[in-house]
Amino acid sequence: MTAEVDLQILRLGARGDGIAETPEGPRYLPFGLPGERVAAQAGGLPRLQSPPSPERRDPCCRHFGVCGGCVAQHMSERLYADWKRSILVEALRQRGLSGEVAPLRPIPAGSRRRAVFTARREKKGGVLLGYHPRESDVVFALKECPVLVAEIVAALPALREIAAHTAEPEVRLTVLATPAGLDVAVSSERRLAASAAARLAQIAAGERGLARLTLNGETLSQRSLPQLSFAGVEVCPPPGAFVQAVAAAEALLGEEVTNAVRGARRPADLFCGLGTLTFSLARRAPVAAFDNDAEAIAALTAAARHAKGLKPIMASVRDLLREPLAPGELKDYDAVVFDPPRAGAKAQALALARSRVPVVVAVSCAPGTLARDLKILVDGGYRLQGVVPIDQFLFSAHVEAVAHLRR
């Protein structure tokens, strides 16, 4: 058995672990806080040896420490906000960037409207529905989640029942809370028998009152149209579509982006998705919107067709990761907003760096790739005006951010 070592935690890391310095280098200790001494051995959680830090708080969820989603429920509000902001500050510092980083914009608990669950059949015949534990691919049975909206938590038994009737060893359920009710998209490796599909439809519409239930993109039941409102425009997301996880965070993103491009006469929205930011921009100016998801572009276009008070929107399907807008195409725009996947938008940033677009706004939930893309733009002649962190992913190590640049 590996001997325990006594370690002093000095600071927090980007994943929420406490960091102690050892002769072999930094040691990362889950759930430790600066100032605490812990006894640690390889492969186990550290044991507190000193009085707890005054910044330590009791977790608000019974699953904390097991669930792989939350890493920071044990921190005080002050320490938590400072830590979250520091993740972004450190990512910028590592790229040699020193733009002003605003204080963390908070988001309330119980506000996440979109969740992805795994349901796995047990050998004894039951079904586990929940998340993965820390650094594991097993599934634990979720009983509560202080991050999610109450409607999703209340529906956990219904979701487990739906998963059980698929008769699959494992399925994935993407759940979105909408004003019309829950929109549930089930992903399975096989098609269901007609009788099983009919039973699922009965459960969804009659017994559980879901707005919509789909299986591998095919609608099994639709009691009402699940829609979200983006800048006052009603949009029906395709089954399982990406949307911003928290409505309050989405509103803050829209506010920051529209303020940054104020006065632009011809903005472009790259990686636009369903139009989360497109419609905010189109309240003021004509917008060119691009995304590689054809279903998302179709939903955006359909919503724009029936909306009132918008400037024209030109929405196009384009894979900007492989075919970014070139400098010659970018000359038509006086502001560009881009909100790429976690991998960032390196190719598009390189093209923007060679363009003459006066204003660029970068939105990202991945500080590392955001900093990389910002460095490309700064090296290309842009000045980083500032970055605003938004706590869209409560208690996790992910940080949403909006960066504003000008030539």
Q: Which stretches of 201-312 are assigned E, i.e. beta strand?
A: 212-215, 218-222, 228-230, 233-235, 267-270, 287-291
Q: Which residue's structure tokens are 């669950």?
A: 117
How many Å apart are CA 70 and CA 57, to the nearest integer? 14
| Cβ-contact 305, 316 below 8 angstroms | no
- How many of the other CB atoms lie within 10 Å of CB of 358? 15
d(CA 283, CA 277): 10
Residue 255 to residue 278: CA distance in whole angstroms:
12
- CA 108/CA 103 separation, integer angstroms: 16
Eight-state DSSP code of residue 109: S
What is the chain's length? 407
Ramachandran angles phi, psi of 151, nearest 5°: -60, -40
Contact 182, 166 (CB under 8 A): no
CB 394 within 8 A of CB 116: no
Q: Are 343 and 349 in contact (CB under 8 A)?
A: no
The position carrying tokens 């409505």 is 247
Q: Which 3 state secondary structure label does DSSP give 35? A: coil
Paired with 221 in beta bridges are 213
Which active-site residues does the annotation give?
365
Q: Are strands 212-215 and 25-29 parallel, antiparallel or unpaired?
A: unpaired
372 CA to centre of own chain: 19
Give 133's contacts (C-beta < 8 A, 6+ positions apart): 66, 67, 68, 140
Best CA proximity match to 67, nearest among 132, 22, 13, 117: 132
Asked if residue 406 lies in contact with residue 380, where contact means CB atoms within 8 angstroms, the answer is no
Contact assessment for residue 9 and residue 35, using Cβ atoms and an 8 Å cutoff: yes
